[in-house]
Chains A and B, each alone.
Chain A
Amino acid sequence: MKPDEFEQRLSRQPLRKIPGAWRAEILAVARAASAPCHASRVTRHNWFGTFNQQLATIFWPHPKAWAGLAAVWIFILAVNVSLREPVPRRAEKSAPPSPEMVVELRQQQLLLAELIGPRETRAADRPRIFKPKPRGGRAEILAA
């Protein structure tokens, strides 16, 4: 494909030159970076840089959407934690009651038993005895 006049005109436009002062600065930084004493730091930096790049690849084209999603999850977790009822504490282990206290408790138990009287079984607790009734109830009515 031959360039037309317009393309030729564009390609004739001279580009800006690189500032001369940059050479010394950039080469100095490059030399410092290649020095062996920086090797471990460089490795760590590279590893971190790669990790960052991977993260950026994952989260890029919609970083705000990901951030929003993360914020929503954090909000949900915060609400969940704040509304949770306090976990009932297990009965804390306490020292065994003293003998005096045991005696007193027994006395109170006896006193209570005397006040209440002999224990009766409630009607609901009694065993029900099934007594079959004559089936002739209807016949009696008829006879009367």
Chain B
Amino acid sequence: MPGSQQIERLYDAHAAALFAFLLNLTRAETDTRDLLQEIFVKLAREPKLLAGVRAERAFLIRLAHNAAIDLMRRHGTRERTKNDFAAEIISPFTPASDPDEQVFRDELAAALGELPAEQRAVVHLKLWSGRTFEEIAAALDIPPNTAASRYRYALDKLRGRLRPLYEEIK
């Protein structure tokens, strides 16, 4: 079945990046899995979705972002994003063998959790997907200036929160 092969190809090419992005947004593995499944089911049902799309990754990031925002709205997690995510232990990072590094990763995960979802999405795409502000803007359907300003605000918050720890273990 050619459609099946196409889905497998898409999964192998993009699922890891989408997983990291969605996990950073939702901070819940079950939600991430549901969203990932929702995206691939959508792609399987509507193979023409990707017809004429030049940047597959950007298109899929947009799908993932919209799906995550919808899920958060459905769950009413706006307040949860601010208040509870920081308390959750689900980290988007791999565990570190060095205890100092682990502390830093935990703090970073908590600090990211305190950011609004919109800022967290931009930070993730900039730092861990290596996207430019133009690409982020296209993926999230926002102006490039908005993407840049969200990134600056988010980075200032992260810097303020992590500076003492960062200076200590630098």
Say yes or no: is B48 at the interface (Cβ < 8 Å to chain A).
Answer: no
Q: List, sorted by A's number, 18 A–B pairs whose CB atoms are closer than 8 Å.
A: A6-B158, A9-B166, A11-B127, A13-B93, A13-B105, A15-B20, A15-B93, A16-B91, A18-B36, A22-B19, A22-B36, A26-B37, A27-B40, A30-B7, A33-B44, A33-B45, A34-B3, A56-B73
Q: Which of B1-30 contact A (CB under 8 A)?
A: 1, 3-4, 7-8, 11, 15-16, 19-20, 23-24
Rounded to whole angstroms, the CA-CA distance of A3 and B144 in the bound complex is 17
Main secondary structure of the interface of B (DSSP, over half): helix
Per the CB 8 Å criterion, the residue count for chain B at the interface is: 40
Main secondary structure of the interface of A (DSSP, over half): helix
Chain A, interface size category, equals: 20 to 34
Say yes or no: is B41 at the interface (Cβ < 8 Å to chain A).
Answer: yes
List 10 additional contacts besides A15-B92, A53-B70; criterion CB under 8 Å. A6-B158, A10-B158, A11-B130, A15-B20, A15-B93, A18-B19, A30-B37, A30-B43, A34-B47, A56-B74
Rounded to whole angstroms, the CA-CA distance of A22 and B1 in the bound complex is 21
Q: Is the beta-carbon distance between B93 and A10 smaller than 8 angstroms?
A: no
B44 touches which of A17, A34, A56 (Cβ 8 Å): A34
